[in-house]
Amino acid sequence: MMKLEILDQKDVWTEELKLPGHWVVANIDTFVAWPAQVHKFIFDGIQYWIIPVTRDAYPGVAARADGISSDELQKRILRLLSAISWVDGHGIALNSFTGGNLPYTMGRRQEGGFTIRQGFDYPYLPEVEEDRAKLALALMREGRGLNHAAYSFLSFYRVLEVAIGNGKKRKKWMPDAIDRLKDSRAIDALAELKANGIGDASKHLFDSGRCAIAHAGADPIINPDDPADTRRLYRELPIIEHLAVMAIEEEIGIKTASTIYREHLYELAGFKRAFGTELVEKVKRSEQINEGAIVDLPVISIRLRGKPKYPPLEGLSPKYMHQDGTNVHLRYGREDGSLEVRFNLNFGDERLEFDIHDGVYGIADDDSADFAESKAHMAEFSKWYYLNGRLEIVDTVTDEEISRKDAFMPLNMIVQPEEFDKDIEFWRSIADARREIEKPN
């Protein structure tokens, strides 16, 4: 495993970041573990570069203002940060916007203060259109990013007001939601309220929290000079924070990362698009798909998340499809017939089923260098797959993710990476020897 290291900014900039343009950069303070290397991805139709944590500059997000104003791009970047904060469950605070003809960031002298990671690997990032949803996620990011109990509390309560509305509906929703809270810190805080004689937690959160913070002309009131008020709000923050999460998920419909993980819908998401809603529902009911039905299966590449591409598994074309109840068995292969991959779409259980022991087939050794090279690549694929690899299937043409699996957990076996390394080296040496033989005289 590669050791993570915080570098100087000059040592992490990619060639793309050195290209002049109309750049906008959000410099951030974040509780989210932030990448230590530059990487990029597309969100809501815009290409973003994640600026890593470095020794001498703030981390953040950069993008080019191509076709939109700087003000609009700043809004888009903040929405991306809100989406990351929502899925990660931690806060991100904007320090400043910078930029110019290059993505200049704001310098800092503090080396510490950040947690780093290899890169982002979220189950999804919600792209929302509704203004109410955008505001709710923004308030959630703000609340989680503030190091101030009162203002965090107020931001979370504002989420409830945005998601549920004022008045009777919220008063009815809150007691029921409080009874359904599952976070251990929130449950402990509720138990403390009950032990202190507070029976109506929702009324207490409104009167002694939201109103006491926002208004200075009524009783009770939160006094910034009273440490007891601050301590109480910190203890009660988990209650209002997780109520805000529930409100966004239940009332606005933006799922949390834990819900996405629990449902595993990402395993078949792209294939569902290829089949279409009508055919998917038929398969779920175990109704046979008509022979004339058109399923626009894409050319695919099979990869392991965070690892290089494996040439034998790139550009696989659909070869065979067979339905058995709620299962659709697919066979993909290379055009030259040198390799075939088989897997099953289990629409009943929302699972992509792939067995590495019985899912990859190749031709017999034809004494070619290409065969030996392919064997070396597949040995390397197998090594990293067994070492908790996360399988992903992408559309070869668009590079869009079609499906992915969680980390593979081998059962009843001991994985020895050095044995795979020996196999990889063996086949590479065979490939080199065969290339020498294949050279024209």
pLDDT in tens, 101-144: 999 999 987 666 788 888 888 878 999 999 999 999 999 999 99
> Which residues share a beta bridge with 340?
333, 361
H, E, C per residue of 377-390: HHHHHHHHHHCCCC
The end-to-end CA distance of the chain, in Å, is 43
CA–CA gap between residue 288 and residue 349 (Å, rounded) = 17
**pTM confidence score:** 0.77
CA–CA gap between residue 186 and residue 177 (Å, rounded) = 12
Mean pLDDT in residue range 161-179: 92
pLDDT at 2 over 70: no
Q: What is the DSSP string of 353-418?
A: E--TTSSEEEPPP-S-HHHHHHHHHHHHHHHHHHTT--EEEEETTT--EEEE-PPP---S----HH
Confidence of residue 76 (pLDDT cuts 50, 70, 90): very high
pLDDT of residue 410: 86
Tokens of 415: 């994985």
Mean pLDDT in residue range 376-403: 93
Torsional class of 420: left (φ above 0), alpha (ψ -120 to 50), beta (otherwise): alpha
Q: Name the percent of the chain lying above pLDDT 70.
A: 98
Mean pLDDT in residue range 238-264: 94
> Which residues share a beta bridge with 23?
64, 100
Q: Which CA distances in Å does 158 have to 94, 205, 211, 419?
A: 19, 12, 11, 57
Place of tokens 């629990």: 262
**Helix ranges restricted to H, 199-349:** 201-204, 212-214, 227-247, 257-263, 269-275, 277-284
Least confident of 147-161, 226-240, 402-416: 402-416
CA–CA gap between residue 125 and residue 340 (Å, rounded) = 33
Tokens of 34: 């932030």
Burial of 24 (0-12, 13-18, 19+ CB in 10 A): buried
> Which residues share a beta bridge with 395?
300
Question: What mean pLDDT, rounded, does the chain reach?
Answer: 93
Q: Whose CA is closest to 244, among 88, 139, 129?
A: 139
Residues 6+ apart with CB under 8 A from 16: 40, 49
Mean pLDDT in residue range 327-344: 95
pLDDT of residue 441: 67
Tell me the backbone φ, ψ of residue 156, rounded to 5 degrees.
Answer: -65, -40
Mean pLDDT in residue range 204-229: 91
pLDDT of residue 136: 98
Q: Which CA distances in Å does 83 have to 87, 242, 394?
A: 6, 17, 23
Mean pLDDT in residue range 272-290: 93
Confidence of residue 222 (pLDDT cuts 50, 70, 90): very high
Confidence of residue 1 (pLDDT cuts 50, 70, 90): very low
Place of tokens 């509906």: 169
Mean pLDDT in residue range 16-40: 93
Mean pLDDT in residue range 172-190: 96
Tokens of 303: 């990869």
> Which residues share a beta bridge with 57?
107
Q: How do residues 339-367 score in pLDDT, each as one tens digit?
A: 999 999 999 999 999 999 899 999 999 99
pLDDT at 266 over 70: yes
Mean pLDDT in residue range 42-56: 92
CA–CA gap between residue 299 and residue 294 (Å, rounded) = 15
Contact, 297 vs 324, CB < 8 A?
no
pLDDT of residue 160: 97
